[in-house]
Amino acid sequence: MISKCFKIFLLVSIISLIIVSIVIILVFTTFEAKNPVVHLYPVDLDKVEFFTPGVTIVNLTMIISVMNPNYGIYKTENTTGFVSYQKTVVAMVPVDAQTLPGHATTNVSVTAGLMSHKLMTNENFVADVGDGSFNMTTRTTFHGKVHLLKIIKIKALVNMYCDILFKMDPMDAVSSCVTHMRVL
């Protein structure tokens, strides 16, 4: 005959095993970190003047639209993004700390101060503009923490790379972004 204590021990063990199994399944499926979906939209392009004499900084305003597909909230720290034209950094973009709620889209407004003298000294820039379009790339690394269930905080890093095609007539831009989230 099995004693009453052994039956209780067996019941508690089975319940504990079921709870541990459920937690492991959730961690590796539902709570697994997914890459955010990012779109970059340059705005007010009709006000951007690359060829104004005596102007060394041209402001380029952009909206970064970030869709966080994760269940947790991602809180970023202040960071700096870089805008490049043919591997030459032409602008540094300050990005303020943000809170990106789970399963939501957040729009972040940033302004890049394009150093027009760096663009003009590149022999290919004027030729590209004459051809009607030119490409720029952006690179940003967001350091922050993922907050799960308001009790678990995990450090994470999101690398964002965007290619932007600027069309000159009429002034328009199309971007394509790739992100990679890494839990530290």
Does residue 86 surpass a pLDDT of 80?
yes
* CATH tag, 35-183: 2.60.40.10
SS3 state of residue 96 = coil
The pTM of this model reads 0.80
How many Cβ atoms sit within 10 Å of the Cβ of residue 46? 9
- C-alpha to C-alpha distance for 40 and 140, rounded to whole angstroms: 12
Mean pLDDT of 47-57: 77
Percent of the chain whose predicted confidence (pLDDT) is above 90: 51
The pLDDT value recorded for residue 14 is: 93
CA dist., res. 75 & res. 9, Å (int): 43
Q: In this structure, which long-range contacts are made by residues 26-33, counting pairs with CB atoms below 8 Å and at least 24 apart in sequence? A: 30/71, 31/70, 31/71, 31/72, 31/148, 33/70, 33/146, 33/156, 33/181, 33/182, 33/183
Please give the Cα distance from 95 to 77 (Å, whole number): 9
Amino acid identity, position 95: V
Cα–chain center distance at 132: 29
- pLDDT at position 1 is 56
| pLDDT at position 58 over 90 | no
Average pLDDT, the chain: 88
pLDDT at 3: 83
CA 82 to chain centre: 13
pLDDT score of 2 more than 80 = no
